[in-house]
Amino acid sequence: MKISEIATLLDAKVLCCEESISHEVHSACGSDMMSDVLAYVKNQAVLLTGLVNPQVIRTAMMMDMRCIVFVRDKNPSDEMIELAKEADIVLLSSPKRMFDACGILYSGGLCPNEV
Amino acid sequence: MDNSTPLTYSFTVHGDDFSSAGEASVQVKKILRSIGFDADTIRRVSIAMYEAEINMVIHAGGGVADLYVYPDRIVIVLTDKGPGIADIGLAMSEGYSTAPDNIRSLGFGAGMGLPNIKRYSDNLDIDSKLGEGTKLTITVIPQR
């Protein structure tokens, strides 16, 4: 699935790195606990979260993720957007709740594990 | 680069600002990428160091992180002058945390830091003295 399709499915705004929304991604995870993302996630390209602080971006950087979806219309700070640009991570903001957003992407073909 | 003289880098980890925690890990990731290590090795080093850096900010008020790059291994030594770890065995068990609630609300403090560092590294050595500080030595062996 392309990141642009994720944005469409989740009615999401693209907040940065629009030039990378044609990248293909295959897997995602949803969590507000970055400790768990670092501990249990392997090779997921997309992070869905309701947490908004710079450590969300750094966690995604460490995990080589391509896209972060902020659920419930959460918006990252300018500092977070600058960090994401540095690592070419697409930031999306969706009005969907976490459960709904994960369900929509799962039904749309994203897997829990990289293929 | 021979085995006796590693490339050496040193970083200050500031303890007064949680939002800047991880900056040294980002730098290390860039350095390892420029040297040409494989993606899996870089990710293992980055995650282990990031967890250690977060720990240093939460528990010890910052410290120093030194990176040593040998041809056959990457070593990170993190030294702080924090309160020390009272029970290293307990601190190594998943889910045990002494982090305050405000840190949990920032997405950390789940008690996964030290276990995670061990998981992603090939060797983890913890030298801690109560009231004096902690020294973590993390070793990652690159894939061949």
Q: What is the ipTM of this complex?
A: 0.88
Residue A55 to residue B21, Cβ atoms within 8 A: yes
Highest mean predicted confidence (pLDDT) among A57-66, B12-21, B99-108? A57-66
- Which of these, A25, A74, A32, lies nearest to A56 by C-alpha position? A32
Percent of chain A with pLDDT over 70: 97
Residue A61 to residue B29, Cβ atoms within 8 A: yes
Is residue B5 domain-resident? no
CATH of the domain at B54: 3.30.565.10
- State which residues form the domain around B68: 13-140
B1 or B132, greater pLDDT = B132
Distance separating alpha carbons of residues B57 and B64, to the nearest angstrom? 11
- Burial pattern B59-76, b for ≥16 Cβ within 10 A else e, equals bbebbbbebbbbeeebbb
Q: What is the pLDDT of residues B49-100, one digit of tens each?
A: 999 999 999 999 999 999 999 999 999 999 999 999 999 999 999 888 988 8
For residue A34 the two structure tokens come to 């970055």
Is residue B72 domain-resident? yes
Number of domains composing chain B: 1
Quick check: A98 contacting B, CB < 8 Å?
no
Residue A62 to residue B116, Cβ atoms within 8 A: no
Is residue B50 domain-resident? yes
Domains and CATH numbers, chain A: 3-108 (3.40.1390.20)
Quick check: A43 pLDDT over 60? yes
DSSP E strands: which ranges in chain B? 7-14, 62-69, 74-80, 123-129, 133-140
Tally Cβ neighbours within 10 Å of residue B84: 17
Q: Please name every residue paired with A28 in a beta bridge, in sequence order, or none if there are none.
A: A46
Is residue B73 domain-resident? yes
The predicted pLDDT at position B1 comes to 57
